[in-house]
Amino acid sequence: MSDDHGLVEMEPTPGEKLAAIFKQREVRVATAWGVLVTAIFFVIGGWIYPSWMPTAMSTDMKSIERLIVIFTWISAPVCGIVLGFSIYTFLHRHKGDTPPADGPGFRTNSLVVGLWVIVSSALCLVAVVYGLIEMNSASAATAEHKKNAMVVEVTGSQWAWSFNYPEQGVQSHELMLPINRPVEFKIISVDVNHSFWPVQLGVKVDANRLQTTVIDTTPNKLGDIDVKCAELCGLYHAYMETSGKVMSADDFNTWVTAHQGGHTA
Protein backbone atom coordinates (compact mmCIF):
# COMPACT_ATOMS: atom_id res chain seq x y z
CA MET A 1 0.00 0.00 0.00
CA SER A 2 3.02 2.27 0.28
CA ASP A 3 4.77 2.00 -3.06
CA ASP A 4 2.88 4.63 -5.06
CA HIS A 5 4.37 7.81 -3.59
CA GLY A 6 8.04 8.51 -3.62
CA LEU A 7 8.36 12.01 -2.13
CA VAL A 8 11.06 12.04 0.56
CA GLU A 9 9.44 14.80 2.60
CA MET A 10 6.25 12.87 3.09
CA GLU A 11 5.53 11.16 6.38
CA PRO A 12 6.35 7.46 5.86
CA THR A 13 3.32 5.23 5.72
CA PRO A 14 2.91 2.38 8.23
CA GLY A 15 3.96 -0.02 5.47
CA GLU A 16 7.18 1.87 4.90
CA LYS A 17 7.85 2.05 8.63
CA LEU A 18 7.37 -1.67 8.85
CA ALA A 19 9.71 -2.27 5.95
CA ALA A 20 12.29 -0.05 7.65
CA ILE A 21 11.96 -2.06 10.84
CA PHE A 22 12.64 -5.29 8.97
CA LYS A 23 15.74 -3.80 7.35
CA GLN A 24 17.46 -3.71 10.74
CA ARG A 25 19.88 -6.56 11.24
CA GLU A 26 18.82 -7.35 14.83
CA VAL A 27 15.17 -7.61 13.78
CA ARG A 28 16.10 -10.06 11.07
CA VAL A 29 18.23 -12.22 13.37
CA ALA A 30 15.52 -12.26 16.05
CA THR A 31 12.94 -13.08 13.38
CA ALA A 32 15.09 -15.95 12.18
CA TRP A 33 15.13 -17.33 15.73
CA GLY A 34 11.39 -16.84 15.82
CA VAL A 35 10.87 -18.73 12.58
CA LEU A 36 13.00 -21.58 13.90
CA VAL A 37 11.00 -21.77 17.13
CA THR A 38 7.72 -21.56 15.20
CA ALA A 39 8.81 -24.43 12.97
CA ILE A 40 9.79 -26.56 15.97
CA PHE A 41 6.47 -25.95 17.73
CA PHE A 42 4.60 -26.51 14.48
CA VAL A 43 6.18 -29.89 13.88
CA ILE A 44 5.96 -30.98 17.51
CA GLY A 45 2.38 -29.82 17.78
CA GLY A 46 1.37 -31.94 14.83
CA TRP A 47 2.24 -35.26 16.42
CA ILE A 48 3.01 -34.89 20.10
CA TYR A 49 -0.50 -34.55 21.49
CA PRO A 50 -2.05 -37.29 19.34
CA SER A 51 0.84 -39.55 20.33
CA TRP A 52 0.13 -38.96 24.02
CA MET A 53 -3.63 -39.10 23.87
CA PRO A 54 -5.40 -42.47 23.88
CA THR A 55 -6.94 -43.92 20.75
CA ALA A 56 -9.92 -41.88 19.63
CA MET A 57 -13.02 -44.09 19.64
CA SER A 58 -15.62 -41.49 18.67
CA THR A 59 -15.94 -38.51 16.36
CA ASP A 60 -15.96 -36.27 19.46
CA MET A 61 -12.56 -37.53 20.53
CA LYS A 62 -11.25 -37.27 16.98
CA SER A 63 -12.34 -33.64 16.73
CA ILE A 64 -10.74 -32.84 20.11
CA GLU A 65 -7.47 -34.27 18.84
CA ARG A 66 -7.74 -32.20 15.67
CA LEU A 67 -8.64 -29.10 17.63
CA ILE A 68 -5.67 -29.45 19.96
CA VAL A 69 -3.33 -29.86 17.01
CA ILE A 70 -4.76 -26.79 15.28
CA PHE A 71 -4.53 -24.72 18.48
CA THR A 72 -0.89 -25.76 18.79
CA TRP A 73 -0.32 -24.54 15.24
CA ILE A 74 -2.05 -21.24 15.99
CA SER A 75 0.16 -20.88 19.07
CA ALA A 76 3.38 -21.74 17.25
CA PRO A 77 3.93 -18.23 15.82
CA VAL A 78 3.14 -16.71 19.24
CA CYS A 79 5.86 -18.91 20.74
CA GLY A 80 8.07 -17.93 17.82
CA ILE A 81 7.69 -14.20 18.46
CA VAL A 82 8.10 -14.37 22.24
CA LEU A 83 10.92 -16.90 22.29
CA GLY A 84 12.67 -15.58 19.19
CA PHE A 85 13.05 -12.14 20.71
CA SER A 86 13.82 -13.59 24.15
CA ILE A 87 16.59 -15.77 22.75
CA TYR A 88 18.08 -12.88 20.80
CA THR A 89 18.27 -10.56 23.82
CA PHE A 90 19.49 -13.38 26.07
CA LEU A 91 22.36 -14.05 23.68
CA HIS A 92 23.28 -10.35 23.84
CA ARG A 93 23.37 -10.23 27.61
CA HIS A 94 25.81 -8.22 29.67
CA LYS A 95 28.07 -10.02 32.10
CA GLY A 96 30.01 -8.60 35.01
CA ASP A 97 29.48 -6.92 38.34
CA THR A 98 28.72 -3.43 37.12
CA PRO A 99 25.60 -2.41 35.21
CA PRO A 100 25.88 -2.10 31.42
CA ALA A 101 25.85 1.25 29.66
CA ASP A 102 22.42 2.70 29.06
CA GLY A 103 20.58 1.34 26.05
CA PRO A 104 18.49 3.28 23.58
CA GLY A 105 15.92 5.48 25.28
CA PHE A 106 12.81 4.74 23.21
CA ARG A 107 9.69 4.47 25.30
CA THR A 108 7.12 3.08 22.94
CA ASN A 109 6.38 2.47 19.30
CA SER A 110 2.75 2.94 18.42
CA LEU A 111 3.10 0.96 15.21
CA VAL A 112 4.45 -2.08 17.05
CA VAL A 113 1.88 -1.80 19.83
CA GLY A 114 -0.95 -1.44 17.31
CA LEU A 115 0.26 -4.34 15.22
CA TRP A 116 0.67 -6.48 18.33
CA VAL A 117 -2.90 -5.81 19.45
CA ILE A 118 -4.29 -6.49 15.98
CA VAL A 119 -2.38 -9.74 15.52
CA SER A 120 -3.16 -11.07 19.00
CA SER A 121 -6.81 -10.13 18.61
CA ALA A 122 -6.92 -11.89 15.24
CA LEU A 123 -5.38 -15.06 16.68
CA CYS A 124 -7.82 -14.89 19.58
CA LEU A 125 -10.70 -14.48 17.13
CA VAL A 126 -9.59 -17.51 15.15
CA ALA A 127 -9.52 -19.59 18.34
CA VAL A 128 -12.93 -18.33 19.45
CA VAL A 129 -14.58 -18.86 16.06
CA TYR A 130 -13.08 -22.29 15.62
CA GLY A 131 -14.23 -23.31 19.10
CA LEU A 132 -17.75 -22.00 18.45
CA ILE A 133 -17.94 -23.89 15.14
CA GLU A 134 -16.89 -27.10 16.87
CA MET A 135 -19.47 -26.53 19.61
CA ASN A 136 -22.11 -25.88 17.01
CA SER A 137 -21.40 -29.04 15.07
CA ALA A 138 -21.40 -30.99 18.33
CA SER A 139 -24.87 -29.69 19.19
CA ALA A 140 -26.07 -30.36 15.65
CA ALA A 141 -24.90 -33.93 16.08
CA THR A 142 -26.74 -34.07 19.40
CA ALA A 143 -29.98 -33.05 17.72
CA GLU A 144 -29.40 -35.71 15.10
CA HIS A 145 -28.66 -38.37 17.72
CA LYS A 146 -31.85 -37.72 19.63
CA LYS A 147 -33.79 -39.64 17.01
CA ASN A 148 -32.32 -43.09 17.37
CA ALA A 149 -30.00 -42.84 20.34
CA MET A 150 -29.63 -45.67 22.78
CA VAL A 151 -30.12 -44.38 26.32
CA VAL A 152 -27.72 -45.36 29.07
CA GLU A 153 -28.54 -44.16 32.58
CA VAL A 154 -25.32 -43.57 34.47
CA THR A 155 -25.32 -43.40 38.26
CA GLY A 156 -22.32 -42.20 40.21
CA SER A 157 -22.03 -43.14 43.84
CA GLN A 158 -19.14 -43.15 46.29
CA TRP A 159 -17.14 -44.83 44.68
CA ALA A 160 -18.57 -46.75 41.75
CA TRP A 161 -20.26 -46.25 38.41
CA SER A 162 -23.34 -48.20 37.45
CA PHE A 163 -25.11 -48.31 34.12
CA ASN A 164 -28.74 -49.00 33.36
CA TYR A 165 -29.93 -49.78 29.81
CA PRO A 166 -33.71 -49.11 29.99
CA GLU A 167 -34.33 -50.15 26.37
CA GLN A 168 -32.58 -53.48 26.90
CA GLY A 169 -33.51 -54.00 30.55
CA VAL A 170 -29.91 -54.55 31.58
CA GLN A 171 -27.90 -53.25 34.51
CA SER A 172 -24.14 -53.36 34.62
CA HIS A 173 -21.02 -51.99 36.27
CA GLU A 174 -19.19 -52.07 32.96
CA LEU A 175 -19.94 -49.77 30.07
CA MET A 176 -20.79 -51.88 27.01
CA LEU A 177 -21.66 -50.04 23.80
CA PRO A 178 -22.49 -51.14 20.25
CA ILE A 179 -20.41 -49.54 17.52
CA ASN A 180 -21.83 -46.77 15.30
CA ARG A 181 -25.02 -46.33 17.26
CA PRO A 182 -25.51 -42.92 18.91
CA VAL A 183 -25.65 -43.22 22.68
CA GLU A 184 -27.19 -40.75 25.09
CA PHE A 185 -25.86 -40.81 28.65
CA LYS A 186 -28.20 -39.57 31.39
CA ILE A 187 -26.06 -38.99 34.43
CA ILE A 188 -26.97 -38.56 38.06
CA SER A 189 -25.31 -38.93 41.44
CA VAL A 190 -26.77 -40.45 44.57
CA ASP A 191 -24.39 -38.55 46.88
CA VAL A 192 -21.65 -36.00 46.15
CA ASN A 193 -20.48 -34.60 42.79
CA HIS A 194 -18.71 -36.98 40.46
CA SER A 195 -17.67 -36.50 36.87
CA PHE A 196 -18.41 -39.16 34.29
CA TRP A 197 -15.44 -39.56 31.95
CA PRO A 198 -15.30 -42.36 29.39
CA VAL A 199 -11.80 -41.38 28.35
CA GLN A 200 -11.57 -42.65 24.77
CA LEU A 201 -14.99 -41.23 23.84
CA GLY A 202 -13.97 -37.60 24.43
CA VAL A 203 -17.04 -36.59 26.45
CA LYS A 204 -17.37 -35.66 30.10
CA VAL A 205 -19.98 -34.23 32.43
CA ASP A 206 -20.53 -33.98 36.18
CA ALA A 207 -22.89 -36.28 38.01
CA ASN A 208 -24.94 -34.07 40.33
CA ARG A 209 -27.42 -34.94 43.04
CA LEU A 210 -31.03 -34.72 41.76
CA GLN A 211 -30.04 -33.00 38.52
CA THR A 212 -29.75 -35.22 35.48
CA THR A 213 -27.06 -34.15 33.03
CA VAL A 214 -27.05 -35.42 29.48
CA ILE A 215 -24.25 -35.99 26.97
CA ASP A 216 -24.14 -37.96 23.77
CA THR A 217 -21.61 -39.45 21.41
CA THR A 218 -21.27 -42.13 18.78
CA PRO A 219 -18.57 -44.77 19.35
CA ASN A 220 -17.00 -45.57 15.99
CA LYS A 221 -14.09 -47.82 16.81
CA LEU A 222 -13.97 -51.23 18.48
CA GLY A 223 -11.90 -51.51 21.63
CA ASP A 224 -11.65 -51.00 25.37
CA ILE A 225 -12.86 -47.88 27.20
CA ASP A 226 -11.60 -46.57 30.53
CA VAL A 227 -14.33 -44.96 32.60
CA LYS A 228 -13.00 -42.63 35.28
CA CYS A 229 -14.25 -40.07 37.76
CA ALA A 230 -12.86 -36.60 37.07
CA GLU A 231 -14.20 -34.79 40.13
CA LEU A 232 -12.69 -35.28 43.58
CA CYS A 233 -15.41 -37.21 45.41
CA GLY A 234 -13.87 -38.28 48.69
CA LEU A 235 -11.79 -41.12 50.04
CA TYR A 236 -11.60 -43.55 47.09
CA HIS A 237 -11.93 -41.04 44.25
CA ALA A 238 -8.84 -42.51 42.61
CA TYR A 239 -10.43 -45.94 42.51
CA MET A 240 -13.77 -44.86 41.10
CA GLU A 241 -13.12 -46.30 37.69
CA THR A 242 -14.38 -49.13 35.60
CA SER A 243 -13.81 -50.59 32.19
CA GLY A 244 -15.96 -50.79 29.12
CA LYS A 245 -16.00 -51.96 25.55
CA VAL A 246 -17.20 -50.81 22.19
CA MET A 247 -18.37 -53.99 20.43
CA SER A 248 -20.05 -55.02 17.24
CA ALA A 249 -23.86 -54.95 17.18
CA ASP A 250 -23.97 -58.77 17.27
CA ASP A 251 -21.61 -59.01 20.25
CA PHE A 252 -23.61 -56.34 22.03
CA ASN A 253 -26.85 -58.23 21.49
CA THR A 254 -25.21 -61.38 22.79
CA TRP A 255 -24.03 -59.49 25.87
CA VAL A 256 -27.53 -58.06 26.41
CA THR A 257 -29.17 -61.47 26.14
CA ALA A 258 -26.70 -62.97 28.58
CA HIS A 259 -27.29 -60.25 31.17
CA GLN A 260 -30.99 -59.50 30.91
CA GLY A 261 -32.74 -59.69 34.25
CA GLY A 262 -29.63 -59.67 36.40
CA HIS A 263 -26.56 -57.72 37.42
CA THR A 264 -23.12 -58.38 36.14
CA ALA A 265 -20.18 -58.09 38.44
* Residue from 21, 213, 223, 245 in contact with other proteins (CB under 8 A): 213
Of the pair 170, 199, the CB lying nearest other proteins is at 199
CB 206 within 8 A of CB 195: yes
* Residue from 236, 254, 260, 264 in contact with other proteins (CB under 8 A): 236
Sheet holding 205-207, edge to edge: 175-178, 242-247, 223-229, 194-198, 205-207
* Residue from 18, 40, 64, 160 in contact with other proteins (CB under 8 A): 64
Q: How far apart are CA 38 and CA 174, in angstroms?
A: 44
Of the pair 26, 167, the CB lying nearest other proteins is at 26
Q: Is 86 in the site for other proteins (CB under 8 A)?
A: yes
Cis ω for the linkage preceding 116 (within 30 of 0): no
Q: How far apart are CA 172 and CA 158, in angstroms?
A: 16
Report, in Å, the least distance between residue 182 CB and other proteins: 16
Size of the site for other proteins (CB under 8 A): 85
| Residue 241 identity | E
Q: Is 151 in the site for other proteins (CB under 8 A)?
A: no
Of the pair 165, 197, the CB lying nearest other proteins is at 197
Of the pair 151, 256, the CB lying nearest other proteins is at 151
**Number of residues that this document lists for the chain:** 265
> Helix/strand/coil (H, E, C) string of 7-47?
CCCCCCCHHHHHHHHHHCHHHHHHHHHHHHHHHHHHHHHHH
Identify which range of 13-21, 171-179, 238-246, 249-257 contacts other proteins by CB under 8 A: 238-246
Report, in Å, the least distance between residue 225 CB and other proteins: 11
Identify which range of 1-9, 13-21, 99-107, 177-185 contacts other proteins by CB under 8 A: 99-107
Q: Which residues contact 155 (CB under 8 A, 6 or more apart)?
A: 161, 162, 163, 164, 187, 188, 189, 190, 207
CB 243 within 8 A of CB 265: no
Q: How far apart are CA 180 and CA 222, in angstroms?
A: 10
Q: Is 253 in the site for other proteins (CB under 8 A)?
A: no
Identify which range of 73-81, 144-152, 175-183, 246-254 contacts other proteins by CB under 8 A: 73-81
Report, in Å, the least distance between residue 187 CB and other proteins: 8
Identify which range of 90-98, 145-153, 176-184, 247-255 contacts other proteins by CB under 8 A: 90-98
Alpha-carbon dihedral angle through residues 225, 197, 214, 255, given to the nearest 10 degrees: 20
Of the pair 10, 143, the CB lying nearest other proteins is at 143
Query: H or E element: which one contains 173?
Result: none
Per-residue mark of binding to other proteins, 170-199 (x: CB under 8 A): -----------------x---xxx-x-x-x
Q: Is 80 in the site for other proteins (CB under 8 A)?
A: no
